[in-house]
Amino acid sequence: MKKPNNPIAAVDMGIFRFDGERLSVFLVELLHGSFRGRLALPGARLAAEESMEDAALRVYREAGGDTPCFIEQVYTFSAVDRDPRSRAIATAYMAFPPDGCPPFQPCSKYARGAWYDVFTVRDLAYDHEQISRVCRQRIAAKLNYTTIALLLLPEEFTLTEMQTLYELCSGEQFDKRNFRKKIKSMNIIVETGRQRSGRKARPAMLYRAKRRSMELVSLFR
């Protein structure tokens, strides 16, 4: 019959941010284990009196964050050989830090941590490249029917930045006039009245989210 050898339950966390130009994920360098020295998503074993959601928030803090402005369970990965040391299943979460939070400083269980472009990361530990890809796909999907973009963008953003986020995640280009018309007609953003200058071109209008929560809306496709 089945062996009662119980796998370890763990949480792995994809922390994503968008700075107006690039979508990045926060990776840490592992200090121990067979993947020592490799980059990985922050993660932890599930503790006894802790739900996955609790564990996910703990992992987020161990990575150096305080309170995310968004967190969501993504998928559970359970391939038998995904951890060469011991049988482990990992439930992946993704989270976005709020705008203006201090730089992430991971706790001592990691060598260091830094942000990496989501579309070019390679050679992650475990199956974390796959996990990162699934998170990306989830973000891309949710851009089309929620206001998740407003949680990923900084508090004040330009419409060009917003369009860049959509284009990066969908892999296709949009017409500038149609994009702006669509977004403006949706009643989800307001002009701040302020402008962003300092770039070597005409300053852009800054906008902010009307509501800072993820809502279901019909956007593209």
Interaction pattern, residues 48-87, with its own copies; x per rule: CB under 8 A: xxxxxx-------------------x-xx-xxx------x
Quote the longest CA-to-CA distance of the chain. Answer: 71
Q: Does 193 bind DNA (CB under 7 A)?
A: no
- Least separation, in Å, of the C-beta of 79 and its own copies? 5
For DNA, which stretch binds (CB under 7 A), given 35-43, 50-58, 121-129, 191-199? 191-199
Complete DSSP assignment for 4-58: --PPEEEEEEEEEEE-SS-EEEEEEEE-SSTTTT-EE--EEEPPTT--HHHHHHH
From 13, 23, 27, 46, residue interacting with its own copies (rule: CB under 8 A): 46
Give whole-number Cα distances, 162 to 69, 95, 108, 139, 177, in Å.
18, 19, 35, 14, 13
Residues forming contacts to its own copies in the complex (CB under 8 A) are: 2-9, 44-53, 73, 75-76, 78-80, 87, 89, 91, 218, 221
Which residues contact DNA by CB under 7 A? 158-160, 175-178, 180-182, 185, 195, 197-205, 218
